[in-house]
Amino acid sequence: MTEPITSLKALREAEAECTRCPLYKHATQVVPGEGRGRSRLMLVGEQPGDQEDKQGKPFVGPAGAILSKALAEAGIERSTVFVTNAVKHFKFESRGKRRLHKRPNAYEIDRCHWWLDIERMLVKPEIIVALGATAIRSISGRPLPINKTRGRVMPLADGGQMLATIHPSYILRIEDDADKRAQYKQFVSDLKVCAKALAKAA
């Protein structure tokens, strides 16, 4: 019988040994969540990207830069939040020397949900921000359309709260400058909803 995980340090060590799905075979390393042991706000993305896989830290690549900027504009210090991913290993396909992101499938999301549950138990966030469809599915337990749930705090079956929004990598992929600015502005607005909800509950 394995010992229960009671600290983020023990969780990182356990995640490093994870073989619950095949993604560990090709990734450089596991990318555990990062942040304070007790954070009122938890941000959950889809999975690590290329830079995150190399550095072993979440949201340190281009999408992470957008996230940090948007958090600052929303009045939230990144150092006060816990950031993690629904899936802890980088899933990709190789194209020459490049490694192109591939979306995790339902099996991989469900197998990795174990770790997210432990993170939530340890961190005890008041609000979880689901960044994109994969995170929404993992946190809520079912696929929900972003356009119908985005930007409002919703109750979860287990007593927690979730706010759904886009993943910052979506903003990176938009080619039209006006659309890119509009989506970024909306992303900041979504994060401000969290900041207001936390301020009201404080």
What pLDDT does 85 receive? 97
Give the Cα separation of 164 and 150 in Å (integer).
5
Residue 92 has phi, psi (to 5 degrees) of -150, 170
For the domain 8-201, what is the CATH superfamily, name and number? Uracil-DNA glycosylase-like domain (3.40.470.10)
The structure's pTM equals 0.95
pLDDT band for 1, please (50, 70, 90 cuts). very low
pLDDT band for 4, please (50, 70, 90 cuts). confident
* Greater model confidence, 3 or 2: 3
What pLDDT does 124 receive? 95
Domain parsing of the chain, residue ranges: 8-201
Give the Cα separation of 97 and 79 in Å (integer).
34
Residue 117: closest CA among 137, 134, 138: 138
What pLDDT does 162 receive? 97
**179: which residues sit within 8 A by CB, 6+ positions away?**
none
Give the Cα separation of 41 and 17 in Å (integer).
27
State pLDDT tens for residues 27-83: 999 999 999 889 999 999 999 999 999 999 999 999 999 999 999 999 999 999 999
Tokens coding 127: 């609000």
**156: which residues sit within 8 A by CB, 6+ positions away?**
128, 139, 140, 162
What's the N-to-C CA distance of the chain in angstroms? 40
pLDDT band for 115, please (50, 70, 90 cuts). very high
Burial, 173: exposed, middle or buried (Cβ in 10 Å; 0-12, 13-18, 19+)?
exposed
Alpha carbon separation from 105 to 84, 86, 158 (Å, rounded): 18, 11, 24
State pLDDT tens for residues 117-165: 999 999 999 999 999 999 999 999 888 899 889 999 999 988 899 999 9
What pLDDT does 95 receive? 87
Residue 152: closest CA among 92, 91, 193: 193
